[in-house]
Amino acid sequence: MTSTPHSETPVDYYELTAQRKAGTGAPRARTFFGVAQAISDGLSVPPLRHSVTGPRLAEFSEQAIEAWFTALEQLAKDGKSNPWGLTNRSRDSRIDLFYNCYQLPFPTEEVQFTLPKQVQLDPLLSTFERICVEFEPFYAYTLDRRLQKLHGRRERYYQMRLEITPPKEHSQIPKPIPIEGVVDTLPPLLFQQEIDRVQVPEGVWWINFWTPTQVENVGVERVRNAGWSRIIERPAGFLLVATEEPTSVYNSAHLAKLGEMVEALNLKEVQEQYRVRPHWYRRR
């Protein structure tokens, strides 16, 4: 039976994501505590004093968070894995902040939280900058999972799956799911697993943090002249804003601007220079 793609519901949501090499920078409990404080202070939301699930957080302090991390690690060893997340349990402005550690392609630490609705750019940008100071990431951005599937990635992933799957099993591979109301006219880019993101960004998002290494590899003047809505240059890196309002895949003007920026940055060609082989792609 051939799989039939459905369409995705048109809803915008964004996740602020920051990543660093595991074991670099300040200790994890200190940075997680600092990131949580930056969110509650900068976005004027209740403090993130509660565990999302699993072991209870004794108090909101660096020492308590380290003990909480230790308890979560022990549960994982016992086969009782829980999300490593803190929440403010707010009905109107709930924020869940998560800590993750995984291989991509080297051990990577990540902090991530979903942005509250109707968030204003100026306080968000200040919070974003403070998080980058606390966490010292090699890459940070406002993740939009629908935008992540554009740049020709959905169709290319489908074709790659066909290449590594026996022909008799092709009908079992789900076809690309269209995003309702969105036509993918963006220039092609590689998958995040195909590039060394310490060296080059994955793409252009609403808000971006690029380290001096990434800016240098793309080209300092090329970055400065790419058409950003805002550029804030700091010693630790560039804070780059694509559009004043949240960049939306359902806004044709936003997509057109993103396409122009990606081409101005020559991003695909730079990504090719720092290409790596993804672990999930193995030809038959």
Q: Do 51 and 62 fall into the same domain?
A: yes
270 assigned to some structural domain: yes
34 and 96, same domain (yes or no): yes
Q: Are residues 260 and 169 both part of a single domain?
A: yes
Residue 6 lies in a domain: no
Cα distance between residue 95 and residue 124, in whole Å: 13
pLDDT for position 284: 36
What tokens appear for 121 in the block?
A: 């750019």
d(CA 18, CA 115): 13
In this structure, the answer to whether residues 142 and 20 fall within a common structural domain is: no
Do residue 69 and residue 123 come from a single domain?
yes
User: Is 151 in contact with 255 (CB distance < 8 Å)?
Assistant: no
Residue 7 belongs to a domain? no
Residue 77 maps to a domain = yes
User: Which of these three, 79, 106, 137, is where a domain ends?
Assistant: 137
Specify whether 214 is located in the same domain as 126.
no
Q: Average of pLDDT values for 25-50?
A: 95
Dump strand ranges (E) for the chain.
Answer: 15-21, 50-51, 85-87, 96-103, 107-114, 139-143, 207-210, 230-234, 237-241
pLDDT, one tens digit per residue, over 46-89 is: 999 999 988 999 999 999 999 999 999 999 889 888 889 999 99
Report if residue 219 sits inside a domain.
Answer: yes
Q: Which percentage of the chain shows pLDDT scores above 70? A: 93
| Number of folded domains that form the chain | 2
Asked if residue 3 belongs to a domain, the reply is: no
The domain boundary residue, chosen from 99, 115, 137: 137
| 29 and 83, same domain (yes or no) | yes
246 and 177 both lie in a single domain: yes
The range of the structural domain enclosing residue 234 comes to: 138-284
Residues 156 and 265 in one domain: yes
Alpha helices in 137-275 (DSSP H): 145-148, 153-163, 212-218, 220-224, 252-265, 267-273
The larger pLDDT score, comparing residue 17 to residue 277, is at: 17
Q: Which of 129, 131, 118, 139 is nearest to 14 (CA)?
A: 118
Please give the average per-residue pLDDT across 230-246, as a whole number: 96
Amino acid identity, position 229: S
Q: Dmax over Cα atoms in the chain, in whole Å?
A: 56
218, 259: one domain: yes
Task: Give the end of a domain, one of 137, 172, 203.
Answer: 137
Supply the pLDDT for residue 160.
76
Q: Where residue 278 falls among pLDDT bands split at 50, 70, 90?
A: low
Closest CA to 32 of 4, 57, 8, 10: 57
Residue 5, in any domain of the structure: no
Residue 232 corresponds to which tokens in the numbers above? 């804030």
Return d(Cα 59, Cα 70) in angstroms, integer. Answer: 15
Domain for residue 251, yes or no? yes
Q: What is the mean pLDDT of the chain?
A: 89
Q: Does residue 68 share a domain with residue 174?
A: no
Same domain, 146 and 129: no
